Copies of this chain bind each other. A is one copy, B any other.
Amino acid sequence: MNDTLTPEWIAVDWGTTNLRAYAMQGASVVARAASGDGMGQLTTAGFEPALMALIGGWANAASVRIIACGMVGSRQGWVEAPYAKVPCTPLNRPLTHAPSTQNLDVRVISGLSQTTPPDVMRGEETQIAGFLAFNPGWDGVLCLPGTHTKWVHLSAGEIVSFQTFMTGELFALISEASVLRHSLTADGWDSAVFAEAVTDALSHPQRLAARLFTLRADHLLHDAPAPTTRGALSGLLIGAELAAARAYWLGQNVAILGTQDQARAYQTALRPQGIEAMLVDAEKATLAGLTAAYRSTKASS
Contacts and interface: CB of A to CB of B under 8 A. Distances in A.
Interface in A174-227: 174, 177-180, 205-210, 212-214, 217-218, 220-222
A213 B209 CA distance: 18
Interface in A203-255: 205-210, 212-214, 217-218, 220-222, 237, 240-241, 243-246
A119 interface: yes
A243 B205 CA distance: 9
Given A179-B166, A179-B169, A148 B213 contact: yes
A15 to B, nearest CB: 13
A209 B173 contact: no
A167 to B, nearest CB: 7
Contacts of A209: 165-167, 237, 240-241, 243-245
A117 interface: yes
Nearest to A169: B178
* SS class, residues of chain A in contact with chain B: helix
Given A118-B218, A120-B220, A210 B163 contact: yes
A110 interface: no
Contacts of A170: 174, 178, 212
Interface residues of A, number: 43
A126 interface: no
A113 interface: yes
Interface of A: 83, 113-115, 117-120, 148, 163-167, 169-170, 173-174, 177-180, 205-210, 212-214, 217-218, 220-222, 237, 240-241, 243-246
